[in-house]
Amino acid sequence: MRVNKRARVRLIGVTAIILVAVGAIILGAGSGDGSYARSVSEALDDPELVGERVRVTGTVIDGSWDQGVKPMLFDIRDEGASSGPVINVVYSGSPPDTFGDGATAIVTGILSGDGSLDATDMITKCPTKYAAADGAMTVEDVLSSGANVIGTEITITGLVASDIQPAGGDSRFAIASTSAGEKIGIAFDGSLPSDIDEGDAVVITGEMRDDGFFHAIEVALSDSEK
Amino acid sequence: MATIGSMFIGIGGIAALVAVVSLFWGRSLGEKDGESLTNTGYLATFASFGAFTVSVFIMIAAFFREDFSLMYVASNHSTDVSGLSWLYKISGIWAGREGSLLFWAWLITVFAAYVAYRRIQKTDDLSNMGLAVMNIVLLFFTVALFVETNDPFKLSPAGWLGANGELLIASAMNPLLQHWAMIIHPPTLFIGYAGMTVPFAFAMAALIVGDGSKAWIKIVDRITVFAWLLLGIGIGLGAIWAYVVLGWGGYWAWDPVENASLLPWLTGVGLLHSFTVYRRRDGFKGWAIMMAAISFSVVILGTFITRSGLVQSVHAFGEDIFSAWLFGAMIVLPIVFAIWGLMARREMFSGNDDFESLTSKESSYYFNNVLMLVATIVVSYLTVSSALPSFLPGGGKSFGPDTYDAVAHPVGILYVLIMAVCPLLSWGKTEGATFWKRAKWPFVGTGVLGAALLTVWYTQLLPIAQKVGSSNSFEPLNVQSLYAVVGLLVAALAISVSVFMFTEGARRRAMAKEESFGAALWHIITHARTQSGGYLTHLGIGIILIGLIGSSMYVDDMDFAIPQTPGANFEAAGYTFTFNGINEVNIPNGDVESTLAFDVTDGSRLVQTVTPGQIFYYRQQQTRLNVDVITQPLRDVFVVYNGIDAAGNIQMNVKINPLISFAWAGFVILIIGSGLASWPKKLPEARPVAAVSKKRR
């Protein structure tokens, strides 16, 4: 190398300065902004996470929120759980448009020791069609009520106890309270949840009719299937 | 139909294999003896293009026929029933993972066929090897397409279909994708991704053949600009879509999906500028090769991040190990081979890289590459950090927009400064006197424009920050203000220098050729397309920077609740918003569209009526917002309807985005500039020369 040695040294020097500066910014910003991705139960189980920034994924519990209040308070629990540990979220921003009962919420904020999360960021994903089984009648209930329920719109819950037939026939599928219990045939020509299968817990709205079949208006997977 | 579709993918793959074997074998036999084999390789490339085209056509036909027996069609068909519905049928092919993989593979065959078509008269060593590498890449894609999780032609499970083939499950294209920008955005990105295969392939070819001259650059230059241009269009459209559809937090949120598309754009800038030095000064050869390999590598990395679920869940890795290895190989091998090749061919690829001074043009190109590479590495690392082991810094953690912005703000401003100053510098060493002579008028322009921008900043933007605080939790208000002021001045410089390059160039030509200024300017624009396109692109970047500063640092976000009675109003952005009523429309496919009407008044003067609303998508059970915007030169006023709350009040949100129109205007100028630069020039060989009556050997 000729006279360029000085220029080259300066070049390397400036490059080094840039790298160090960028590194410093990342370390500074990163340590404050980095968050641990956890589920609700994981976040609550780990005492080391208290006071740390966590990004928790959970399902919004029905009715636990009010959009008009600021900061917005709502509760989340693990996806697929109908009971279990709950995190109370305090969120100071505006909720995304897909927020609602049963939505999957990913909230980021500082976790406190009392199971609450001071959230600064939230994104939500959309749920598939799920319904709560609370307040629904079981198959036994319906069978034992006999003529009393015929023609009345009710909600029943049970396990899918047969193959799923194509639409257009008498019975799309059957449900029962337990895998060996007595079955009721469900007549339904509408769209079923995409992942429905034998053994799944379902919540069905419709009415019993004289023909012995339960004519459904709507079929949804039970919350507990999430 | 499904099996025929898969069959043609297989045929395409076999043709690619034939091409690879023929081209390498033909080369080993020498020019004369290997000629027919080499020609076979070119023909096999065309055949592969044909086969993949048939396969893509079958898929699109399946969407038009609503053939739900294909699982991919069932999951990705559009429910739109407007006049645009036929376009959404086509867009189904790139709406999901399997289809977009097929689409991408097809695009690679398009580029390969184009290169083959342009080079078949010459069948030079470089082109033969370049084509061979492209076909190797295609082979990887073909193998990937036959993995079950990636198979676009797999059949729907039996329970999904009714007696007449109708769809019985609640599944369809995500309503967020049923928007005009989502018709154009994915294909432009995929064209850009597929196009980045070309410079990589020819970089490898140059190493294989041992040709360190600029021959390979001349072949791939325009295609590379074109690919980079399409990437830019795709990124911009994605930003527009995100801006208008909301739920994504504005036009850029450093989301993994967004970052994936940005990475090759960043390295692409480094690549294109390395090409310039390679062409004009025979330098930066190692840079050009490495940037070509890295660009291809990050394209695959980006796809991997987006489509494999790597980042959404740390646990998603386990699902499809084979694909993980396949993509992993495509990410790592290009870089490994590039480094190895450069080491093996050290002498051939050592170029004119002596630096004489820190204030030379070469130096600014060097820092251009360094900053782009640093940005690429930082963005990649922060994006995948949650999947990294915890002993690495940030391992297991994910990072929000504020971290990215904390790096992007200073690095971005420094970058635009270098970009602005470079045209004023000389190759080798810039003499002080020369510099000031060149810089005089640009500095005057910077002063004038800068003063105007700073006035706007001080009177309109700073008050917002004083009200809401800094937009970034890591940048105290005075730091943010410093960035804003310096950034606006740098942007003014970039704009002034770009304009100066045009006016000065035209003025000189007008004097030398005795043309009018206008004619000279026109000539420069149309004939010196690489340079004029470049300066126009720089101009666009400067304007975009203004828009970014305003709209990212000084957004004002306000919520309002008003009763549902007509006449109820609220005040925002200096206007009064008066509610007129709600209109609900039931669309034939079960969707429900609600639109609200507001009169926006300034005193007694009606400024505009805005109609924000929502669409509830029946099949997908999802709501999408329809935002309305009051567009003004110095700001956008976003009006969002957030639904009715428990008390029966209308929830409204108003966001003020200052200077956002500069970002969009700058984007348009950038596209025009890059388009100009990518316009093909007639190759000298195309001139009819009597001697070229038979194919040149």
Please give the average per-residue pLDDT across A60-64, as a whole number: 81
CATH code at B176-352: 1.20.120
Are B99 and B93 spatial neighbours (Cβ–Cβ below 8 Å)? yes
The pLDDT of residue A2 is above 80: no
CA distance A94 to B647: 17
pLDDT over 90 for what percent of chain B? Answer: 54
Q: Do A35 and B397 touch (CB under 8 A)?
A: yes
Chain CA centroid to CA B31, Å: 40
Tell me how far CA of residue B73 lies from CA of A189, A195, B142, B250, B261, in angstroms.
22, 17, 20, 31, 25
Q: Do B394 and A30 touch (CB under 8 A)?
A: yes
> What is the per-residue pLDDT for B359?
87
Mean pLDDT score across all residues of chain A: 80
CA distance B6 to B58: 10
φ/ψ of B658, rounded to 5, equals: -70, 140
> What is the per-residue pLDDT for B226?
94
Q: Do B357 and A29 touch (CB under 8 A)?
A: no
**Which of B358, B398, B646 comes nearest A68 by C-beta?**
B646
Beta bridge partners of A157: A138, A203
The pLDDT of residue A127 is above 50: no
Label residues B247-278 b or e (16+ Cβ within 10 Å = b): ebbbbbbbbbbbbbbbbbbbbbbbbbbbbbbb
> What is the per-residue pLDDT for B246?
58
Q: Do A30 and B393 touch (CB under 8 A)?
A: yes
**Which of A4, A21, A166 comes nearest B354 by C-beta?**
A4
- From A3-12, A85-94, B135-144, B505-514, the region with the lowest mean pLDDT: A3-12
- Which of B164, B255, B399, B556 would you mutate first to test chain A, the one with the most A CBs within 10 A? B399
Please give the average per-residue pLDDT across B37-64, as a whole number: 95
For residue B246, which residues of chain A lie inside 8 Å, CB to CB? 96-97
Tell me, what's the ipTM?
0.79
- Separation in Å, CA of A135 to nearest CA in chain B: 23
- Which of A2, A33, A66, A164 would you mutate first to test chain B, the one with the most B CBs within 10 A? A33
Please give the average per-residue pLDDT across B191-205, as a whole number: 97
**Contact status of A68 with chain B (Cβ, < 8 Å):** yes
Task: Assign B16 a pLDDT band (cuts: 50, 70, 90).
Answer: very high
Beta bridge partners of B635: B658
> What is the per-residue pLDDT for B684?
47
Higher pLDDT, A148 or B574: B574
> What is the per-residue pLDDT for A224?
62
pLDDT tens column, A189-213: 777 776 778 888 888 888 888 888 8
What residue in B sits closest to A130 (Cα-Cα)? B621
> What is the per-residue pLDDT for A163?
83
Task: Assign B471 a pLDDT band (cuts: 50, 70, 90).
Answer: confident
**Which of B168, B247, B382 comes nearest A98 by C-beta?**
B247
Q: Do B651 and A67 touch (CB under 8 A)?
A: yes
CA distance B242 to B239: 5
Beta bridge partners of B575: B572
> What is the per-residue pLDDT for B310?
60
pLDDT over 70 for what percent of chain A? Answer: 85
What residue in A sits closest to B359 (Cα-Cα)? A7
Chains A & B: contacts with CB separation below 8 Å: 148
For A:166-225, CB contacts with B below 8 A are: 166-168, 191-194, 196
For residue A94, which residues of chain B lie inside 8 Å, CB to CB? 557, 559, 642, 653
**Contact status of A92 with chain B (Cβ, < 8 Å):** no
| A48 exposure class (CB count in 10 Å sphere: 0-12, 13-18, 19+) | exposed
> What is the per-residue pLDDT for B675?
92
Please give the average per-residue pLDDT across A153-176, as a whole number: 83
- Separation in Å, CA of B273 to nearest CA in chain A: 18
Residue B619 amino acid letter: R
Q: Do B647 and A68 touch (CB under 8 A)?
A: yes
Task: Assign B318 a pLDDT band (cuts: 50, 70, 90).
Answer: very low
For residue B403, which residues of chain A lie inside 8 Å, CB to CB? 26, 29-30, 33-34
Report the range out of A4-13, B537-546, B574-583 with the highest average pLDDT.
B537-546
The pLDDT of residue B695 is above 60: no
CA distance A112 to B54: 58
Task: Assign A68 a pLDDT band (cuts: 50, 70, 90).
Answer: low
The pLDDT of residue A47 is above 70: yes
CA distance B490 to B414: 8
Residue whose entry in the numeric block shows the structure tokens 């996470």: A49
Q: Do A35 and B167 touch (CB under 8 A)?
A: no
Domain spans in chain B, listed from the N-terminal domain onward: 1-158, 176-352, 410-552+666-675, 556-658
- Which of B474, B480, B652 would you mutate first to test chain A, the one with the most A CBs within 10 A? B474
CA distance A174 to A164: 8
**Contact status of A96 with chain B (Cβ, < 8 Å):** yes
**Which of A15, A30, A196 comes nearest B403 by C-beta?**
A30
What residue in B sits closest to A31 (Cα-Cα)? B394
CA distance B132 to B22: 9
- From A27-41, B84-98, B187-201, B232-246, the region with the lowest mean pLDDT: A27-41
- Residue B100's nearest CA partner among B194, B3, B170, B169 is B194
pLDDT tens column, B577-634: 999 988 888 887 778 888 999 999 988 899 899 999 888 776 666 667 778 889 899 9
- From A180-184, B148-152, B304-308, B313-317, the region with the lowest mean pLDDT: B313-317
pLDDT tens column, B19-37: 999 999 999 998 888 899 9
Q: Do B642 and A67 touch (CB under 8 A)?
A: yes
Are A1 and A8 spatial neighbours (Cβ–Cβ below 8 Å)? yes
**Contact status of A97 with chain B (Cβ, < 8 Å):** yes
What residue in B sits closest to A97 (Cα-Cα)? B247
For A:33-62, CB contacts with B below 8 A are: 33-37, 55
One-character DSSP codes across B169-201: BS----GGG-SHHHHHHHHHHHHHHHHTHHHHH
- Separation in Å, CA of B165 to nearest CA in chain A: 10
- Separation in Å, CA of B347 to nearest CA in chain A: 16
Q: Do B358 and A4 touch (CB under 8 A)?
A: no
- Separation in Å, CA of B190 to nearest CA in chain A: 26
Report the range out of B228-232, B304-308, B402-406, B610-614 with the highest average pLDDT.
B228-232
Tell me how far CA of residue B208 lies from CA of B134, B342, B663, in angstroms.
14, 10, 43
Please give the average per-residue pLDDT across B4-24, as a whole number: 95
Q: Do B358 and A11 touch (CB under 8 A)?
A: yes
Label residues B670-679 b or e (16+ Cβ within 10 Å = b): bbbbbbbbbe
- Domains detected in chain A: 33-127 (2.40.50.140), 131-225 (2.40.50.430)
The pLDDT of residue A32 is above 80: no
- From A37-51, B315-329, B654-668, the region with the lowest mean pLDDT: B315-329
- Residue B674's nearest CA partner among B484, B567, B538, B496 is B538
The pLDDT of residue A91 is above 70: yes
Structure tokens at A45: 């189980």
How many Å from the N-terminal Cα to the C-terminal Cα in chain B? 44
Q: Do B168 and A167 touch (CB under 8 A)?
A: yes
The pLDDT of residue A70 is above 60: yes
Task: Assign B187 a pLDDT band (cuts: 50, 70, 90).
Answer: very high
Task: Assign B210 a pLDDT band (cuts: 50, 70, 90).
Answer: very high
**Which of A26, A36, A129 comes nearest B378 by C-beta?**
A26
CA distance B562 to B580: 12
CA distance A165 to A168: 9
- Separation in Å, CA of B622 to nearest CA in chain A: 7
DSSP state, residue A18: H
- From A169-178, B98-107, B663-672, the region with the lowest mean pLDDT: A169-178
- Separation in Å, CA of A110 to nearest CA in chain B: 14
Task: Assign B689 a pLDDT band (cuts: 50, 70, 90).
Answer: very low
- Separation in Å, CA of A192 to nearest CA in chain B: 5
- Which of B354, B377, B398 would you mutate first to test chain A, the one with the most A CBs within 10 A? B398
**Which of A68, A164, A192 comes nearest B645 by C-beta?**
A68
Count the neighbouring beta carbons within 10 Å of the beta carbon of residue B537.
Answer: 28
Task: Give the side-chain half-sphere CA count within 13 A for A148.
Answer: 6
Please give the average per-residue pLDDT across B244-260, as a whole number: 76
Structure tokens at B479: 């730091």
